[in-house]
Each structure stands twice: as structure tokens, then as C-alpha cells.
Structure 1
Amino acid sequence: MSKPVYGNQAASVKATDKLSGAAWMICAAFLLFFGWAAFQIGLFNGMRAEFEKPIYVAALVSGLLMLASTILYLRTFKLESQRDLLTAAAILLPVTYALSLFGAASRYSAMNMLFTQFTYAAVFIISILLLRHKRLNSAVQHSVLTLAYLIVGFGLLNWLGSWKLAGSLVGWFSETVINGRYNDAVMTDSNGLRLTSIFQYANTYAAFLMAFLFVAVFALIRSRKWAGQLLHGFMLVPIIVSLLLTLSRGGLVLLPVVFILLLLFLKPVQQILWIVHLAIAGLFSLLITSPVTRLGLELNTEFTSSSALKGWGYLLGASACAGVLCLVVQRYLAPYLSRKLDRLESRRMSGLWIPAVSVAGVAIIAFLFIGTSARNILPANIGTRLENINFRQHSVLERFTFYEDAMKVVKDYPVLGAGGGGWATLYEHYQNNPYLSRQAHNFFLQYLIEVGIVGFLVFMGFILFIFYKFSRQYLRRETDDYNNGFFYLIIALSILVHSLLDFNLSYAFMGMLVFLSLGGMAVAMESKPLRFTWNKLWIRAGYFTVLGVGTGYLLFLSLGYIRSSSEAYAAKKLIQVSQSYEEIKAPLVKALNIRPYHPESAMYLSLLDQKVYEQTKNEQFLDEAYAVLTRALKDEPSNKELLTQLASYYDQKGESDAAYHVYLDNADKFMWDINWYAQFISRASLLGQQAYSKQDEAGQQTYFASALSAYRHVTDGIAHLKSLPPEQLQGREFFVTPTIGLSAGRVQFLSGDKDAAAAAVKQGFTGGYEDLTDSESLWTTAWYSGVIARSQELGAAALKRSQEAAAEGKLEIKDQETLNKQRYFKTGLDAYTYAIADRDAKQQDVTVTPELLLNTAKIQYMSQDMQAAEATLKQGLSEDYSNPVNRELARWLMAVQQRLQSAQDQAVYQKLIAADPEEAARINEVAGMPL
């Protein structure tokens, strides 16, 4: 019996096959698809219409390409080898995501990840079918490397101020270009400016750069032409400089780890050449990093052509020098080393001593740049990042927390998982502290959460089998570097290793790169014949039938989802420019007809219906809002925005208890959301106040107990946060807000515990309320009036700051000030409610003064609740127009009626103008106030 042949000898790459025009067309379309995906498909992390459409387009295109490829190779595909079986098994990856739909925490996110995994599986299958041919394999490698170099250049264009040029290059096909600028190609965070290129996230760009730094070195060494050697040597410096500009600690830490792992696959001569080339490029990169960093910081503030030319001069000059030196090394040193070390390379274990020495070398370099002043040769921002690399650093501690919390999710969803997006949907229920992270920062843990143990074992078995079989084959490799798949190993290994610390594969383009590389490795791996006879007509027919039907169904779904996404995005844009209810509603209804669980469409339509109800009081709009919300919440039970809208619906229906139960029943889903708990405690307190006024003791005790339990949750949480390591960041704010302090204090006061009430008020009354915490003055007319007036002042100031931040494009500041405004106004309105209750119950001799009513109405006006403001102002108005407070009441009443476009009270207006003619201008000023 003849000995079976494996690997390249078993037709892993067919060098002599005739390639049809169809094969070249599929390959060309496949590569164009990759280029489109690089600039179009961002992070799969949200429920926003503008970002989801590329997911479905990618699934559609990859599915069509896969069908074309399988049809082309239908006759030659035989289930005879391990590689063939692996190709067939790739469909199990999306199947496990389909199974996870049964217990998905979010159907929307789970469906998006199903389409994503289908895209990955399609890319893998297409890769195996195409890369078996040497010429196609070579074309793919050259194209992928060219695309990588273009991405590096694109990032540096943005860093050196040429963002208009960069945006114009891709803006014609990429939705990520906004106002001529590629969004967040240079991002800003607490560390300053960080280069991200197409990824909008610096750490993922670092993983990409790490992979293609090593690919470039590999391409340099295998190239036989001087032009190729010069080009790849030239690109080493831009890649290293870009890596440093990402400020990614994870990238810098894992770079030497991946480097040493890759060295283990190389022979001694190649190992030495890798080290020499990287040393040359690293030296030139260090020489120019400081000026390039400084110039980039300047150019992203204010562009000047002289600074841009200087930056490009440094970069191109250093790259050219490095390229020439690398060319010299390849021309003269490489042949010399090959002659001198020929005998050494034939010895067993000869490839281990250089990696072992490299470990020591890496340790020395790390010590120099982290533990000594040698880091001062780097820019200050990079030096600071290096200095902070340690296990007590906040990002390390936060990741450990993510991982611990992730295992809590796995414990509750062990078998089939929580579905795609499971972590993003559920993490607030399991988190140890109020961090904000829709990613677990570990791809493998996140995968385990999404598909459970079953899907995780399928995936790990899939990739480990490829790595094991490839490694066995590569260590007995032939000399043709285009065929042996090491190019693909570098990419897959680099990205997957970095994904131990980050969420790189949440970016579709990175996932596609990994699965393309796994396909390239599978083509070159050792592939033994199958022990059992699988190459039977009925098995092959059954497989292709399942593949075709499944693909066809997902293609059909993707077409519908593309339409739904387009309609949702159209509605979102209309909301910004149109006032027509019917015009905005039409695309939302179309979007929801296809996907009734689409969170953003459901939220917008519900909000639209509720606003129309406020104006018309037509119950049919509320009924539609309720139907839309409850349908969406069946598949999105943890969606905070939808739940908030549901509570708002109950408020408009006058069903305060039902709105309160929305917050009560879902409080455990948002354990560290202080805004949720502020609403929860406030509503429980107000309902308890109503029960108290009606002498409903049972209802009073229920609501008061609920409010105090939630208040203890907040105070216990604050105490827990104090136990965190001092280096670990807390995350989102978590404190006793003024609303919580007021509401909890009110409950304790009515429960007879005045000392606890005073303590709660004092704990919550910070940030401008401190002078209102005297326990002797609480719950009096003057105190209520002071709280409401202060709330109005602080809220108005926050509103102004929010508007200024919005005008300057400072969106984070705008959002925070908007939240502050809402908190201040909520405190004032709650104080007004309590004052009215005390007045009606004749407690504490509380009276409702015109000043108190005026400030309450101002809060209602600036909260855009015009009808409530009008009613409040009318309560305080008197006939004494010589009184400045009464004139101000009348002035705001006229402004409210002007805003409402309702009939103006002419009698009041005439009396006001008669008292002071300048009031006409003041009315217009109030009515024109931006809100």
C-alpha cells in the first residue's frame, strides 16, 4: 500500500490548474468586498440605524460570492480529506449563533451577530476554494498587503492634518465620512489624541498594525526583487510609528509575545533577519516619533502646510533610509548568513535558541523603556503610557473585573449562551461597579457568553484544529513561501492573541481578516484522508442542499433587513428636519413591519406618538405607542430606552403606579445606573406621599419600604465602591443625587425618623444646595421655596452650558450638562409636589407663595412642559401689577401662551403693559429663549 501524501503535496495549492475567467472574477469581487468592508463596516456594538446596514450588505455579498464559488467548484469538491470536512464544518459557526436565538437576551443583537458569523463562515469557505490555486493565492496575499499599506497611509494622512484629502478618497462610498472627515480616524480620550485610522478604536488598530508589521517583514524576506524588498522595508517605519501613535499598551505588551511565538516557526537565518530588519526600522522610528507626534498634535488643532510638509519629511526620510538599509541586508547579509548557518539549520531544535535569547532581549528593552529614563527619548504621551504598564494599572484591573463579571453571565447562560450581543445587553445586571463597557475586552469570553459551552467548543475545536494541523505541516514545509500559508498564520495569530485583551473581532473587517487567514492556513495544513467514506452522492447533495437553503434564507432576510435599515435611517434623518407626523411615521412603520423588535425604530415611533398625544389628547396615538413598545420589549426586555418610553406612556395615561413598577421590576437589570434609581426612589416616594395623604396605610408602607430599600441599595453601593483598589476607576457616577436625598428624606420624615431624614437630605444636597441642609429649616415654606429656586437656577445654568457645548461640538459635555439639568429640575418639581401635599395636609404651616409658583413654572417651561407651566402660573397670578413678582408671573404666562400658539389672555396682557410698557420686549425675550 502506498503512503498517503499530505499538505502541499496533496494539492493544497494547485500551481498548474487552469483558472477560468469565472474564478478570477470571483476572486476580484472577493478582494473588492474586502476593500469595501475595510472602510465601511465599523464596530457591531449598537442599535443605531446608520451602522447596521453594512452588516446586512456584507452578509448578502459574502453569501452570493459563496454560492458562486461553490457552484464553480461543485464538481471538484470531494469529502475525502480533513480539509474538505473542515470546509463543510464551517457552517456550524453560524448554526451555533442560530441556536443561541432561543435564549437570546436581545433578538436584535443576536440577529446581527448571526449575519456577522455567516459572513465569517462564507469568507472561510470562499478562501479555501480560491486559495488552493497558487496564482489566486498570490493575488490575494498581494492585495491584502496592499490594502494594509493603504490603511496605514490613510491613518497618517489624518494624523498629519490632511483629513480633507483622506475623507475625499473614501467619502464617495463610505458612510463613516461625516462633513468631509472620516469619523474618529484620530480619536480623543483621557490620554489625548490617538491614531485609529479606519477602526475608530486605537487598540484594535494596534492589533492590525502588529499583524501587518510582521507580515511586512515576512514579505520583505521572501521577496526576490529589489523593488519589493525596498517597498516592504520602507513600510516598516510608518507601521511602527503608527503603532506608537495609537498609545495602545496592550499592543506594546503583546507585540513581543507574538514576535517570539512567530520566531518559533522560523529557521535561524530567518530569525536573525527578522530581528535585524525590525531593529533597523525600530531605530529610525524612535528617531522621528517625537517630532511626528508633536507635529500631529499641532496639525489636528490647526493645519499649516509647513508643519504638514515637515511631518511628511521626517516620515518619508526615515522610511527611505530604513528601506535602503533593509535592501542592503537582504542583498548581502542574507546570502552570507545562509552560507554560514547552513549546517546549523539542519540540526534539530536549532530554531529554539534565538527565541530563548529574544525573551531576555525583550525583557531588557522593556526594563529600559518602562523602568528607566530611556523612555524620555519618546514623546511624553507615549512615555507616560509605557510608565503605567503594570498589573495595578486601572485598565488591567478593569479587565479583570470584566472577566469576573463575564463568568457570572456564563453561569446563568451555560449551554446555548445569551445570544449575539449578550454581554452588551446584560452586563449592567452583573457588573461589580458602574463601568460602561458594551464589550468584555476578551473576544473568547465574549464568544462563550454569546453561544454558551456548546458553541464555544465548536469554535475552539475549529480554530485549534487548523492551528495544530498547520503547525505540523509548516515545520516540515517546502520552500515556496507563497504556498505554505505563513502569511496567513501571522495575521490570524496576531489578531487572536491581541483579542485576549480586547474586542478586535467585534470589527467585521478584522473578523473577515482572521477567517480569510484561517482559510489560507487550512489550504496549507496537513490534511489526511478521512477514515470513513464521506464522499457519497447523497451526503454531498445533502450538504449542498442545506448550505444552499440556509444561505438562500439568510440572503432573503438580509434583503429585508437592508430595506428596514434604510427606512429606519431615513426616518432618523427626517426627525431632524421635518415637523410632519405622517412623513416621519411612514418609514418607521415600514421598518417595523419587517422587524417589529427594532429598538431604535420602536423608540422613535413611540416617542413621536406620545408627543402628538400631548398636543391632541387623542388616545389612539397612545394606544399605538403602547403596542409598538410592548411588541419590541418582547424581544428586547432589557432595552433601557424602550423601558423608559414605557414608563413615560404610563405617566401620560395617568397610571403612576404602572410607571413606578416599570422601574421597580427592572431595577435589577441596571444595578449601577444612578439615574434609574433616582427615578425609582422619587416615584416610590411620591406614590407613598399620595397614599399617606389618603390615609392608605398599606399603600404607604409598600411604597415607603420600596423607596428605602432602593435608597439602601444606593448607599451600600457607595460603600462598596470605596473598597475598590485605589488604582481602579469607579466608572460612571454613583452617588446620592439631590432628587434621591430629597425623596429618601421625605420618606423618612413621614415615617417619623427626622434625624435620618435630615441625614439623607444632607447627603444628597451637594453641588449647589449645601446651604439648604439645616435640619431646623427643613420642610418649611421658606425651605421649599429655596429648594425650588435653587433648582431652577442650577438647571438654567446647566441648560446654558449644554447649549454652548453643543455649539462647540463638545458632545460629552453637552450630554453631561443635559443630565445635570434634568436632575436639578426633577429635584425642584419633586419639592413642589411635596410642598403642595404639605399645604393640603396643613402640615408645617406650609403655604404656596407666588415666588414658589413662579420658579416651579420656570422649571416646567424650560422642561418644555408648557401646559403645566401655564396652569402653575395662573395659580400665582394676582391683580397687583405693581408687584414685580406678579408682573414676572404675567410675563412668563404670556410667553408660555405665545409658545403654545394659543389664545393670549388679553386682559392680563393689557394690565401688564399698562404697568410697564417694556414688558412687551421681555415677553418676546422669554418666548424666544432656546430650550
Structure 2
Amino acid sequence: MSKPVYGKNAAQSRIVEKIPASIWALVVALILFLIWTPFQVGLFNGQQVDFEKPMYVAALLSGLMLLVWVGIYYKKFKLDEQRDLVAVAALLLPLTYALSLFVAVSHYMAMNMLFTQSMYVAIFIIALYLMKQKQLNVVIQNAVLAIAYFIVGFGLLNWLGSWSFAGSLVGWFSNTVRSGKYLDAVMTDSNGLRLTSIFQYANTYAAFLMAFLFVAVFALVRSRKWYGTLTHGFMLVPIIVSILLTLSRGGLVMLPVVFILLLLFLKPAQQLLWILQLGVAGIAALAITTPITNLGTELNTKYSSSAALKGWGYLLGASVIVAGIGWVIQRFVAPWLQQKLGGWGSRKRTGLWIPLGSVVLVGIVAFLLIGTSASKILPANMETRLENINFKQHSVLERITFYKDAVKVIKDYPILGTGGGGWASLYEHYQNNPYTSRQVHNFFLQYLIEVGILGFIVFMGFILYIFYKYIRGYVKRDKDEFNNGFFYLIIALSILIHSLLDFNMSYAFMGILVFVGLAGMAAVMESKPLRRNWNTAWLRNSYFAVIAIGTVFLLFLSIGSISSSTAALKAKNLLGVSQSYEEIKAPLVESLKDRPYHPESALYLSSLDQQVFTQTKDDKYLAESYSVLTRALKDESYNKNLLAQLASYYDLKGQGDLAYGVYLDNADKYNWDIEWYDTLISRSFTLGNAALVQKDDAKKQQYFKTGLEAYQHVVDGVEHLKTLPPEQLQGRPFSVTPTIALNAGKMKLMSGQAADAAATLKLGLSADYTDLNNREIARWYLAALKKDNAQDQAVYDLLIAAEPTEATRIDEIVAEKY
């Protein structure tokens, strides 16, 4: 294969290599894949059958493209430079995920992540060799920019009330459009409306926007055509406004960090042009953000064509003005700056002065917006978000907690990790408080958890080598050369840096963008020749054999997973409309044929069997339910729903002690699940009381002991939560519930601990004595006090006033011999 030519020789060359039609077809396929993916494949860590099929289709399509690449490049490929070695090393990334399957805590999610990583590597290898040719590189860059600009426009269409039109644009190929509306393109939380566009998560959209804001500025400054300058200049205001509408604090914090890092790569003249262009666009965006915010809030409540036109008027007007000013800057200011600062840029370390000055400038702007009344120029919700940027803010404290808990997981699974999706399965076992987060909110920590130290070293070695070799080559070449890969550096660097604070890489499209960025950097990195013994026929053939065999194997797996997922989704839809057991069961059996560990299908089928058993009392349904559950739990031992379903099976079999055992044996997996502990304590009392009736004191003591230990776990947890910083949110409810207080109090009283029983029962009392449960708690509370020669006259009077016969019941409890 011919190598790309850079620098003056490339600019002067009149020879354009003829590209075969097969390669053009592969380029078109890659671009169509990039268009399809963001509207089909979302978050990759879930366990919902609704969203898994597009992931398998994406893996299938990327695998097919890789096989086409093998066919095209089989005879052209040579292991003659370091760049080719990077393509070989890329295969180690999915291999580490394959190794983690052997120790995976969730086989289902680990397989999903294996598909994901395989897709990333397929896209990396294909893009790497396509982008070595400048003509194809240009096409791919323009395609990526066009897709990004469309996503920005798509988000603003939804913000300004045109959600029906936006949905119609993508509804014909997207599975995320519901009733003509893209799902959660504008989301609502405690901060109000937040723009998410295609991502359904505002922080990840902010990371995407940050990357393409800098890409747009780079493209604007680089453009030599008037229409390119105007197009990229026009998009600056919509992107900045969109960033503000996400209300992402992480995006606002990381944006100046990435900006200053990128400035270090530029000559002084280019640095000033970036600052000028962004400054003009930023001022214009701030000027219209308040009306755009207010109009969007209004339009998402009730659509008004006049309000929508007004919003678009603000947006388009500001964009046109900024585009015009940007053209003037590039036409007149840029040549002047180049003339004045061209010589300065050749001196050592002169490129540091403007970035250092930018740090001061960013600090001043941050102080004005956070520490002064200057923030009044922003809408109220944005002003509040800015004011809350500090290290004591709850989201910061929560992330720190996630990171500390992640380290606990890593210590227990150091070498091969937990397998893909390990954090989502394990975090409830390791968490410091009852938060809900199936993501670590740090891509690198999550990656380390999933593949362990071995896989993490491979991954970090891979990306750091590309960054090192790219930067090393970049500083030696003409930085104005179109094909220097800086476009791709911006994308990869921006997303990866923001991923220190969030889970952007759990979105397939964001991961694909990063690997396309890495491929673009690798295509032009400094690449020294390899020794001749690398470029042997058996090594080349072995490489292609590994790719072909591995890809074909994964294709078969993905086809099976697509079939299984289709059947599972069919069954899920039938559950709401069909009353036929056989009709619903058939697709569930089909779904579990290739994937018996599929959690949702196993749960549906076992639940269905248990329902039919309650109607027919036919043991064959219970037997099938047990078989399905135990098989799934072999690979999904941390799945709470499957475990609870297994306990239900034992209850139907009349084996309450085994059901209790499920809750007891797995309690440490869900340390902060108050419902789990409520059930465990209730079952402990029920079984202990039954043993008491049967005069089996040993069993009674055993059940009461475990029940009271579970109660103490709850009490200790409540005390621990009091030590959290006041700014940190607790998470899910966790307290001594009335049911827990009642059952624990009964067990203490029956164990001869009257004073402790009274103190425990009092925790469950409420002021409502018309409530039967509260009356029972009060009855046992007063009986415990009486046993301890104490009383609570106020509670007694309220209880007797509500139900006079309670006096007799209290005496009966006191007279009981335990």
C-alpha cells in the first residue's frame, strides 16, 4: 500500500491516487454506520431487552465491515512500520474482555461489553487504513462534522418545540422515537429542562458538544474556502448555546481545561485566532441564551409557532452575525496575525505564553460568573448551577464516594477484573451509602474494574502510545497541513478528558468517536519502519486469520443474540396483551435457547410458570421455574430480581426456610437495600415464632439471632449515614421502617430483652392510631414497657381511645411465656 505524503511535497503533488470502488464502498458503509449508530444504540450497560438488540446489530455490522476490509487489504497489508503494529495490538483490547469472561460476575453484561469492544476495534482498524489516504481522510472528516452538526440542530429542534419534525427526520430508522417524539431529547430533573439531543443524558451531550466546539473552531481557522469559513462559524453559536442548555457543570469545568491543552499544540497566531473566534461566538451566545432558555421552557410546555419563530430568529440571527464576523477575522485579521507573529512562533516556548494567559483569563471569567453579580446575565437555572460549582457540592461528593467504592472492587478483583458491567452488578455490595449508580462516573476506573490491572495496562499502553507517537510527530511537521490529524486529536482528547468525570464512553457513539479519533491520529503519527523479520508471510497471514476467525465467531454470537433479543422483546410485548401461556412462553423459550443466562427472559418465564402453578397446582410449572432460575443464576448470581424470584419459588413449594436462606445468604450483596433487610427480618421473626410454637428453642434462637443481627446492620447503617457531609445526598431511603421495628421488637421481647424491645418498637410508632399496623406496634411497645416495669401513659391513652380492647391484648402479651 502506498504511504501518505505530508508537507510541501503533498501540497505540490498533482498526482491523485485512484481509489478502487471496493474501498469507496467501505467508506460509504462506515459513514452510514456512523449515521445509524447514534440514533439506534444508546447506553451499553443496561439489562433491558428494549435496548440490547441495536447493540448486537451494531456488532454484526461492524464485523461484516471488518471482513470486507480483510478481503480488500489482504494482499496490500504489510507489517513494515509501527502504525501496522498498532493495528495488531488493537486486537488485545477485546481479548482482555474475553479473558474477563472467565471471572465475570455477570456473563450477560460481560458478553455485551465484549461485543462493544470488538466493534470499537473493528472500526479502529478500518478507519486507520482508510484514513491513511488523504482523499478518504477528507471525506471521513467532513462526514463526522456533518453528523455532529446535524445532532446539534436535532437537539435545538426539540428544544424549540419542533419535536414532531425532529422525530420524523429519524423516526424511519431510529428505535428511540416514541409516538413521533425522540425519547428524552429534552429531559427534566430538579434543575428544570436540560438539553440532551440524542444522548438522553445531558452531561454526555455536553462532552460531545465540547469536542465539536473545538473541532468547529479548528475547521473554521483551517478553512481556505469562504463557504467553509461561514459554515463552521455559523455553527459556533448553536453549539455554545446547546452547551449552556445542558446545564452540565462538568462540561463547563472541563471545557477550559481542554481548551488550554489544545492551545499548547498551536502556534501563537492560531492561538489568538481561536480565542478571537470563540470570544465573539461566546459573547453572542450569552446574549441570546436567556430568551432561548425561556422560550424553550415555554415551548416544551405548550407549543406556539410565534414563540418558536422568535427562538429561531434569535438563534439564526446571532449565528449569521458570528459567521460574518468570523469570515472577516479569517479574511483580514488572520493574515495580519500570521505576518506579525510568524517569526515569534518559531521561538522555543513562545507557544506557552498565550495558554498561560488564558489560564488567568479563565480564572477571571470564572470568578465573575461564580463570585459576582455578573452571573445575572444568565438564566436563573444556569446561574444556580454555576453558583453550586464547588468541592462540597453533592454531585462532587457523590463522585468521590463512587471512586472510593470503585477502589474497593478493584482490590477484590485485581488481575482480570469483574468482567464487563461488573460495577453495575457489584456496586450495591461495596457502596458506602444507598446511592443508585450503575456507572462509576469515571471511564478509566470503570475500565479497570471490568478488565483488571492486566487489561487496563493493555488499554492505557495502547492509547498512550498513539498519543505519544502522534504528538511526537506533530511537533516535527508543518502544523498547517490539513492531514495532520489534529481534527481527530481534538475529538479523542476532549471526550477522554471529560470521561474522567462521567460515563460518556458507556455510550456506543461516543466510544466509536474516540476510536475513530485514535485511528485518525495513528494514521498520521510518527511511524518508524519495523525490522524485516516482522513483515513475514506467516505473521501477516496469522494476523488476518485471527481477525477472520474471531470476527466470524463473534458474528455467529451476534446473530444468535439478535434472534434471542427479538424473541425476548416479542414476549415482553405479549405480556401486556395476551392471556395465552403457550403464546407467551414460546418466544421466551426461544430467547433462552442460546442465552440461558439472559436475566429478563429468565425472570419473565419463571414468573409466568409460577403464576400458572398458583392456578393449576401442577408441579411441572414449578419445576420449570426452578430450572430456569437456577441456570440463569449460575451466570447472574448478583441479579437481585432473579434471587427474589427464587425465594418466591420456595414459598410456593412451602419451603419458607429455603426462601429465608436466599435472603440471608445474599444480604451482604445488597447492604443498603432496606426492602431486602425488611423482608429478611420479617422472615426471621415468622420462622422463629413458628419454631417457638413447635417448642424448638434451638431453631427459635437461630432465626432470632440472624434477624436481630440484620436489624443491627440497619441501625448501624442509619448511624453511618449521619456521618455523611451535609451537602451529600443519602440516596435511596434507609431507615428503621415500622415493619422492621415491629418484628425486631417482637424478637427482642421474646428473647427476654424487654427494655431493648421497647426502645426498638418506639422507633416504629406514628401518630395515626387508626392505622392497624401502628396499633400493633403500640400494643407490643406498651407490653414491653410493662414487662420492664415501665409505662408510656400518653401512648397508652391514645391507643385505648382508638380501640379499648387493646388493654386486654397488652395483658395477654405480658402474660405470654417465651
Contact 1:7–1:527, Cα closer than 8 Å, also in 2: no
Number of the residue aligned with 1:256: 256
CA contact (8 A) 2:423 2:438 kept: yes
1:779/1:374 Cα in 2 relative to 1: closer, same or farther (>3 Å)?
Answer: closer
Structure 2 counterpart of 1:668: 668
Cross-structure match for 1:778: 780
- Residues of 2 paired with 1:345 and 1:63: CA distance? 46
Mapped contact 2:45–2:506 kept (Cα < 8 A): yes
When residues 775 and 113 of structure 1 are mapped into structure 2, their CA distance, relative to the original with a 3 A threshold, is: closer
Query: Equivalent residue of 2:302, what SS?
Result: coil
Partner of 2:576: helix, strand, or coil?
helix
Q: Distance in 2 between matches of 1:191 and 1:670?
A: 30
Aligned partner letter, 1:689: N
Query: 2:230 touches 2:326 (CA, 8 Å); kept in 1?
Result: yes
Shift of 1:10: 14
Determine the C-alpha separation between the residues in 2 that align with 1:271 and 1:480. Answer: 13
- Cα separation, 1, equivalents of 2:608 and 2:10: 59
**Alignment of structure 1 residues 833-872 onto 2, 5 Å:** none
**Does structure 1 residue 166 correspond to structure 2 residue 166?**
yes
Residue correspondence of structure 1 range 184-223 to structure 2 within 5 A: 184-223=184-223
1:477 CA displacement:
2.0
**Following TM superposition, by how much is the alpha carbon of 1:553 offset from its aligned partner in structure 2, in angstroms?**
0.2
Asked if 2 retains the 8 angstrom alpha-carbon contact of 1:6 and 1:526, the reply is no
Q: 1: CA distance between counterparts of 2:778 and 2:343?
A: 93
Shift of the alpha carbon at 1:11?
A: 12
Aligned partners of 2:9, 2:322: CA distance in 1, in Å?
A: 39
Gaps of 5+ in 1: 784-834, 847-931
Q: Report which stretch shifted further, 284-293 or 537-546.
A: 537-546
Structure 2: gaps (5+ residues): 786-805
The alpha-carbon distance between structure 1 residues 193 and 22, as it changes in their structure 2 partners (threshold 3 A), is: same
1:331 matched to 2:302? The reply is no
Residue 758 of structure 1: how far off its partner (Å):
2.4
Q: Does the 8 Å CA contact 1:588/1:601 hold for their aligned counterparts?
A: yes
Deviation string for 1:764-801 (max 9, x for gaps)?
234856984798733799x9xxxxxxxxxxxxxxxxxx
| Mapped partners of 1:64, 1:374: distance in 2 | 55
Deviation at 1:253, TM superposition (A): 0.2
1:789 aligned partner: none
Q: Distance in 1 between matches of 2:473 and 2:130?
A: 20
Three-state SS of the structure 2 residue aligned to 1:233 is helix
Name the amino acid aligned to 1:241: V
Match of 1:447 in 2: 447
Show the counterpart of 1:231.
231
Residues in 2 aligned to 1:773 and 1:753: alpha-carbon distance in whole angstroms: 21
Q: CA deviation at 1:406?
A: 0.3
TM superposition shift of 1:178: 1.2
Render the CA deviation track for 1:705-740: whole Å, top value 9, x for unaligned: 001000000000000000001111111110111211
Write out aligned runs for 1:793-808 (5 A): none
Structure 1 residue 664 displacement after superposition: 0.3
Deviations 1:277-323 (A, max 9, x none): 00000000000000100111111111111111111111111111111
* Distance in 2, Cα, partners of 1:659 & 1:767: 34
TM-superposed CA distance for 1:17, in Å, is 2.4
- Kept in 2, the 8 Å contact 1:234–1:319? The answer is yes
Question: Does the 8 Å contact 1:718/1:735 carry over to 2?
Answer: yes
Equivalence for 1:908: none
**Partner in structure 1 of residue 588 of structure 2:** 588
Number of the residue aligned with 2:793: none
2:764 and 2:312 map into 1 onto residues whose CA distance is 54
- The 3 A distance-change label for structure 1 pair 593 and 472 is same
Contact kept? 1:128, 1:522, Cα under 8 Å: yes
> Aligned-pair distance for 1:45?
2.2
Contact 2:206/2:246, CA 8 A, preserved across alignment: yes
Distance in 2 separating the partners of 1:758 and 1:537: 82
Paired residues, what number? Answer: 787
Which residue number in structure 1 is paired with residue 106 of structure 2? Answer: 106
Letter in 2 for 1:778: W
1:609 CA drift (Å): 0.4
How does the TM-score come out when normalised to structure 2? 0.94
- Counterpart AA for 2:328: V
Superposition deviation, residue 414 in structure 1? 0.4
- The question of whether the paired residues in 1 share the 8 Å contact of 2:63 and 2:551 is answered with yes
The worse-fitting range, judged by mean Cα deviation, of 756-765 and 126-135 is 756-765
Q: Specify whether residues 546 and 767 from structure 1 end up closer, same or farther in structure 2 by C-alpha distance, changes over 3 A only.
A: farther
Q: Which amino acid aligns with 1:644?
A: A
Q: One-letter code of the match for 2:174?
A: S
Please tell me the residue identity of whatever aligns with 2:284.
F
Question: Residues 12 and 523 of structure 1 are in contact (CA less than 8 Å); yes or no, is this contact kept in structure 2?
Answer: no
Equivalent residue letter for 1:363: G
Q: Which residue of 1 aligns with 2:800?
A: none
Contact 1:375 1:383 in 2 (8 A): yes
Shift of 1:52: 0.4
User: Aligned pair in 2 of structure 1 residues 74, 402: CA closer, same or farther (>3 Å)?
Assistant: same
Q: Which amino acid aligns with 2:392?
A: R
Alignment of 1:119-198 (within 5 A): 119-198=119-198
> Deviation at 1:637?
0.1
CA offset at residue 18 of structure 1? Answer: 1.6
Distance 1:9 1:276, change over 3 A: closer
Matched-pair contact (CA < 8 Å) for 2:434–2:673: yes
Distance 1:40 1:11 in 2: 43
Establish whether residue 20 from structure 1 lines up as the match of residue 20 from structure 2: yes
Instruction: Please report how far the alpha carbon of residue 166 of structure 1 lies from its aligned counterpart in structure 2 after TM superposition.
Output: 0.9
Correspondence list, 1:401-800, <5 A = 401-478=401-478, 481-531=481-531, 533-766=533-766, 768=768, 772=774, 777-778=779-780
CA distance in 1, matches of 2:616, 2:22: 62
Tell me the residue number matched to 1:831: none
140-149 or 528-537: bigger deviation: 528-537
* Alpha-carbon distance in 2 for matches of 1:574, 1:55: 23
Output the amino acid matched with 1:521.
M
Q: What are the residue-to-residue correspondences of 1:25-36 with 2, within 5 Å?
A: 25-36=25-36
Question: Residues of 2 paired with 1:646 and 1:569: CA distance?
Answer: 23
What is the deviation of 1:533?
2.0
Q: State the secondary structure of the residue aligned to 2:187.
A: strand
Equivalents in 2 of 1:767, 1:543: separation in Å? Answer: 74
Task: Describe the shift of the 1:9–1:360 C-alpha distance in structure 2 as closer, same or farther (beyond 3 A).
Answer: closer
- 1:893 paired residue number: none
Distance 1:776 1:567 in 2: 52
Letter in 1 for 2:780: L
Letter in 2 for 1:329: I
Q: Which amino acid aligns with 2:451?
A: V
SS at match of 2:517: helix
CA distance in 2, matches of 1:298, 1:767: 43
1:827 alignment counterpart: none
Give per-residue Cα distances to partners, 1:41-89, cap 9 Å, x unaligned.
0001211111001111111111111111122112221111110000111
Shift of 1:546: 1.1
Deviations 1:425-457 (A, max 9, x none): 100000000000000000000000000000000
SS of the residue 1:284 aligns to: helix
Instruction: Tell me whether 9-18 or 99-108 shows the greater mean CA deviation.
Output: 9-18
- Counterparts of 1:338 and 1:450, CA distance in 2: 49
Q: CA deviation at 1:164?
A: 0.9
CA contact (8 A) 2:66 2:126 kept: yes
Distance 1:337 1:186 in 2: 42
CA offset digits 1:331-374 (Å, max 9, x no partner): 11011111111211221222111001101001101111011111
Offset at residue 756 of structure 1 (A)? 2.0
Q: Which residue of 2 aligns with 1:321?
A: 321
Question: In the alignment, is the contact (CA less than 8 A) between 1:758 and 1:775 conserved in 2?
Answer: no
Alpha-carbon distance between aligned partners in 2 of 1:154 and 1:11, rounded to the nearest angstrom: 41
In the other structure, the counterpart of 1:74 is 74
